[in-house]
Structure 1
């Protein structure tokens, strides 16, 4: 599909995106922004569209994912924990007592030992993820598929959970 054909098809479908965007956002201005961002992403990634597939579904998927990513970003940014009521009703709760730091040092040492015991193929992606790399970045640096990265991190976490099960219910 040429760029002109792609543009024509997308422009014809664009008005049908607005009601769906409004259903997601419940605000007309946000819906317009969502449609605009969806179209921008569609044009930027038109090479990823496979000719012969349903372009309308492809656009709706882009729009839904854009909305979800934006929603997650906003809720993560604005989430706070208000503990004032807790302290008001439970001022002498034993769960709020600060314990000796030595216990934490033992736990930290046990965690470090458990991580060091992981097989190298699990430890490397796990530690990269732990320090802040995204799955795609890890996959690119290690030159392995992203699914393999996710699987290895999952298996590393599962193994660590098994090795550190003594900490599951506190000390």
Structure 2
């Protein structure tokens, strides 16, 4: 494959690779950078590509490996090794102290949301949460297994709606 044919093939593949880059990075600018890095590595290693093989798969592999390498490099940059006897790895990105209040508020909200459920949904949900299997809940409550699954599903849906403020919290 000539360099011109190779360049044309890479250009055609850019539309297929961009969504994958965006999925990996979750940021448009980082996705464009990853796409560019992938093409630079592909041009640099053009002689390693075997004619007749799957170019798209080769590029996906380069992109995935480039992303992993960049991620590992970023993590290493933000971490230093404490050479004392304890040998702790300490993340040096920023210092943050938490007192657990956020967790307590979240737990209070979760408990309040569960207590707000109708008993018809709360009982099967709590039994499932405690580790009971669907068939055990159905036997204990003397209802069909499909009803148990439906009530647990509805309970989860209600809780998800009630606790939506915690959706993107870490």
State TM-score, norm by structure 2. 0.47
The structure having more radius of gyration, on CA atoms, is 2
State TM-score, norm by structure 1. 0.47
**Structure that is richer in helix per residue:** 1
